[in-house]
Structure 1
Amino acid sequence: MLRILGRASSINVRKVLWACAEFDIPFEREDWGSGFQPTNTPEFLALNPNAMIPVIQDGDFTLWESNTIIRYLATRHDQGAIYPTEAQARARIDQWIDWQASDLNRSWSYAFMSLVRHSPAHQDPQALAAGCAEWGRHMQILERQLAATGAYVAGSRFTLADIPIGLSVNRWFETPFEHPHLPAVRAYYERLSQRRAFCLHGRNGTP
């Protein structure tokens, strides 16, 4: 059985949990990370030298980095339904997964730390305003893409890219500040909410 190390409230752990629900993968999850078992111990560092969650163990195979993990699970269990094997179709999905990790994820950092985590080091009003604006700029990119597809981030059908992007949208709506009007993003959020796996792991817990 798949072993998942990481607290269920982590956005990155929730990617893995959502993928497991989509592919009907049985798993056992253990609480590691903030407030639970520490990740800076020799035991955990032997699994992930970055001291980050999630980590999975599939038999004797250990893997870290959440987007890599969901790609691995899809490759093993999906049979091409939401992560196709054809090169161009897969590349279109991968570009949005990578965009979430490298651009969108980075854009919300200050606002999230200020407004959700209430970090004392992230309470500068000008920096917060700039952070919210930058986050909004990236969400406008997503808005235009969803308006073009009329459905999901990589096209007309749900794909693996919608797992990290969907959780990012959850974080957007759950962070308390005045959001610009993004009707395609809102419709996408409600469309995802029709999926059982998203309801289990995408709209629950701490964003």
Structure 2
Amino acid sequence: MTIKIYGRPNSLNVQKVLWLAHELELSFEHILAGKEFGIVHTEAFLQLNPNGLIPVLQDEYTSIWESQIILRYLAEVYGKEKIWISHPQKRFQAEQWLDWYITSFLPQFSIIFYELVRTPHDKQRLDILPPIIETIEKQLLILEELLSKQPYISGQQFGIADIPLGLALHHWFNFDIQRKIHPHIEAWIQNIRERSSFKKVAYIL
């Protein structure tokens, strides 16, 4: 059975999964789903994900939802020769950044993303952004410190911990806002942007 990935291509959560699938050179079918593409409220889809949300990965007799879990699944099942980290301590040191992204970075970043990318220009609430930008800058100091010691968030090599933040910070550096300089993060994002698998998914809004 061919791997199936359900989701709309302009969703950051779907892009994470598509990026890793390309990174691992997997053969997969991308099924458009969500918002204008529908499908997510059908009985067949709800059998795959009872939450009616994307992305969903269907592989053999298994369906996996929640994008961060899908990344972990693909890395362990298909990436052991490429990006999966076999050493438990090193693996979890890397993967803790997946949760940091969800719990610390994303709540702030998502507000800016929806205001500057998803919201029509005349309805953007630019006045609410300064304190959010300030919070993100403080978070980026933590990431800058990490990347001063290693080339990737995942460690010495690219891994799944680089994917969610790679997509988010790609947009961060494209936003028309005042930013502080973080040389190690900027060097890292330039390397990320050069990856052919990243280029296949990251420029769709």
After TM superposition, the score normalised by the length of structure 1 is 0.89
Q: Deviation digits for residues 186-205 of structure 1, max 9, x if unmatched?
A: 11111112321122223x11
2:165 matches 1:185: no
Q: Contact 2:6 / 2:54 at 8 angstroms: preserved in 1? A: yes
Kept in 2, the 8 Å contact 1:110–1:122? The answer is no
Aligned length: 203
Q: Distance in 2 between matches of 1:54 and 1:37?
A: 13
Which amino acid in structure 2 is aligned with residue 183 of structure 1?
Answer: P
Shift of 1:128: 2.0
Structure-2 residue corresponding to 1:69: 70
In the alignment, what sits opposite 2:204?
Answer: 205
Partner of 1:100: 101
Task: Give the match for residue 112 of structure 2.
Answer: 111
Partners in 1 of 2:129 and 2:41 — Cα distance?
Answer: 30
Match of 1:53 in 2: 54
Q: Letter of the 1:170 partner, please give it.
A: H
Other structure's SS at 2:148 match: helix
Give me the whole-angstrom Cα distance separating, in 2, the residues matched to 1:136 and 1:86: 32
Contact kept in structure 2, 1:21 and 1:197, CA below 8 Å: yes
Which ranges of structure 1 fall in alignment gaps of 5 or more residues? Answer: none
Measured after TM superposition, the shift of residue 47 of structure 1 is 2.1
CA apart distance, 1:38:
5.0
Q: Which residue of 1 aligns with 2:14?
A: 13
2:86 counterpart of 1:85: yes
SS in 2 for 1:7: coil
| Superposition map of 1:165-176 within 5 A | 165-176=165-176
Q: Structure 1 residues 132, 38: closer, same or farther in 2, change over 3 A?
A: farther
Question: Normalising by structure 2, what TM-score?
Answer: 0.89
Percent of paired sites with the same residue = 33
Structure 1 residue identity aligned to 2:90: A
1:7-64 CA-to-partner distances (Å, cap 9, x unmatched) read: 1111111111111111111111111112221534444333222222100111221110
Gaps of 5+ in 2: none
Q: Secondary structure at the match of 1:97?
A: helix
Q: Residue 76 of structure 1 aligns to a residue in which SS? A: helix
Distance across 2 between alignment mates of 1:198 and 1:36: 23
The CA deviation at 1:121 is 8.3
1:70-93: CA deviation from partner (whole Å, max 9, x where unpaired): 111111111253221221011111
Q: Counterpart of 1:188 in structure 2: which amino acid?
A: W
How far apart are the structure 2 equivalents of 1:154 and 1:32? 30
Q: Deviation digits for residues 119-146 of structure 1, max 9, x if unmatched?
A: 7987261x32222222222222212211
Task: Give, in whole Å, the separation in 1 of the partners of 2:176 and 2:51.
Answer: 30
Once residues 193 and 118 of structure 2 are traced to their aligned partners in structure 1, the CA distance between those partners, rounded to angstroms, is 25
